[in-house]
Amino acid sequence: MNERVIELEEIAVSEFFGTHNRNIELIKKHFPKLKIVARDNKVRIIGNPLIMDEFEKRFAMLTKYFHRYNKLDENSIEQILNTVETVKNSIKEKDILVHGVHGKYIKAQSINQQKMVDLMGKNDMLFAVGPAGTGKTYTAVALAVKALKNKEVKRIVLTRPAVESGENLGFLPGDLKDKLDPYMQPLYDALRDMIPQEKLESFIEKGVIQIAPLAFMRGRTLDSAFVILDEAQNTTHNQMKMFLTRMGKNAKFIITGDPGQIDLPRRQVSGLKEAILTLKDLKGIEMVFLDENDVVRHKLVKKIINAYKGIDIE
């Protein structure tokens, strides 16, 4: 008898196999003449070479589906194993940026979010500026994950200036990573919506996805990377200039921030505000200004943003 081994790479094996190997058991029913053994990240098949060829073809379709939709259930398995055309036709949603965890559709939710998507398709650097809740960071992360999945870049780098917004990081317990991880939490949260936990941990461990404070960017050249600078309103002149000049070949940069939430010391000019004025006419750099109409959080957030307009308390 002939034997082949299929190794699953960069995939959440436990989710792909299903609870108690439910998905594997269903696949076995479609190939009763093959002996199929799933263990760790490997699937071993034994049997007739012609049947194994067909199995490998369909199994590749299953993994492709899982990579795209981050889920695999009985219905999708039946569709893929029984018909080819149904699966092909189901993967045509042009508006979807990423099929997130459990098949969640992640796409632009407002006109300006869609503008971010469109402009990043034609440019390598984008400033996305607006108040909290407008989805600028979430959309930026979705664009980065999409680029990584499509192999347009080799890694994602997410960074923030570690400015203490009214709180003292020095009194938090733990080492530097422990102190900074809570501050980076919004970036982790967005990634967890889009990449299964097991795969995300693997990406972080391998350095495919890097999350670090802005100071760690100094001296680096970021080639073939999708880089997001979040909370950019809290950068200084030197920090912003340092960050922008890290851009390497085949890189994409998105800078997000809210000029209304600056935590810098008084009389310290925001690097974001300065960059918007300095770079607004440079070809290849685009800017999107989001507002309360782009809010995708609770409906009260839009009302709160409007209520605070024009208030500047020293």
What does the pLDDT profile of the chain (314 residues) look like in tens digits? 688 899 888 788 888 888 888 999 999 988 888 999 988 888 999 988 878 888 888 898 898 888 877 888 887 888 788 754 433 344 345 778 888 887 778 888 888 999 999 999 999 999 999 988 889 999 999 999 999 999 999 999 999 887 644 444 455 455 555 556 666 788 888 899 899 888 898 999 999 999 888 888 888 889 999 999 999 999 999 999 999 999 999 999 999 999 888 888 888 889 999 999 999 999 999 999 998 778 776 667 767 777 776 655 44
All domains of the chain, ordered by start, with CATH? Answer: 2-90 (3.30.1370.10), 96-308 (3.40.50.300)
295 vs 187: CA distance, rounded Å: 18
pLDDT value at position 166? 40
Closest CA to 117 of 104, 109, 105, 108: 108
Among left, alpha and beta (phi > 0; psi -120 to 50; other), residue 106 is beta
CA separation for the pair 35, 18 (Å, rounded)? 19
The predicted structure's pLDDT at residue 93: 54
β-bridge pairing 225-229 and 252-257: parallel
Q: Count CA atoms closer than 13 A to 214's CA, side-chain side.
A: 24
Q: How far apart are CA 148 and CA 208, in angstroms?
A: 9
Question: Taking the model in full, what pTM does it have?
Answer: 0.66
The pLDDT value recorded for residue 163 is 62
- Residue 77 token pair: 């398995």
Query: Cα Rg for the chain, rounded, in angstroms?
Result: 23
Taking phi over 0 as left and psi of -120 to 50 as alpha, with beta for the rest, 235 belongs to beta
Encoded tokens for 165: 């917004």
